[in-house]
Amino acid sequence: EIVMTQSPATLSVSPGERATLSCRASQSVSSNLAWYQQKPGQAPRLLIYGASTRATGIPARFSGSGSGTEFTLTISSLQSEDFAVYYCQQYNNWPKTFGQGTKLEIK
């Protein structure tokens, strides 16, 4: 099973600033990596797939990069609605596995 490790567990950032979230895979997942956003009491929402492709309707301030084992989600200028928990997930191998999540909180 591929283990996905996200860092940091919690990230405190001020609105308007940039946030950088990391995700590492225990072995290569090529570019088969997705990012999801989850707000309290809501279902997850797809943000990024293929490591760097924004899903439909996702603002351009969200960007993804990386391949192989190292991935990054960057939010260029944080808006109030961006404070949430973010999960990475690999879909290169069975079982599909998620990272443990990064909570993005207001500083």
Partner 1 sequence: EVQLVESGGGLVQPGGSLRLSCAASGFTFSSYAMSWVRQAPGKGLEWVSAISGSGGSTYYADSVKGRFTISRDNSKNTLYLQMNSLRAEDTAVYYCASGGVVGATRDYMDVWGKGTTVTVSS
* 89 contributes a contact to partner 1 by CB under 8 A: yes
Please list the residues that pair with 46 across neighbouring strands. 36
57-86 binders of partner 1 (CB under 8 A): none
Residues 1 and 61: their CA atoms lie apart, in Å, by 32
> Are 64 and 35 a contacting pair, CB within 8 Å?
yes
Least distance (Å) from partner 1 to the CB of residue 94?
Answer: 5
* 37 contributes a contact to partner 1 by CB under 8 A: no
Structure tokens at 26: 């225990």
> Are 78 and 21 a contacting pair, CB within 8 Å?
no
Tell how far CA 36 is from the center of its chain: 6
Least distance (Å) from partner 1 to the CB of residue 49?
Answer: 4
Among 11, 19, 21, 36, binds partner 1 (CB under 8 A): 36
Which residues of this protein are in contact with partner 1, per CB under 8 A? 1, 32, 34, 36, 38, 42-46, 49-50, 55, 87, 89, 91-101
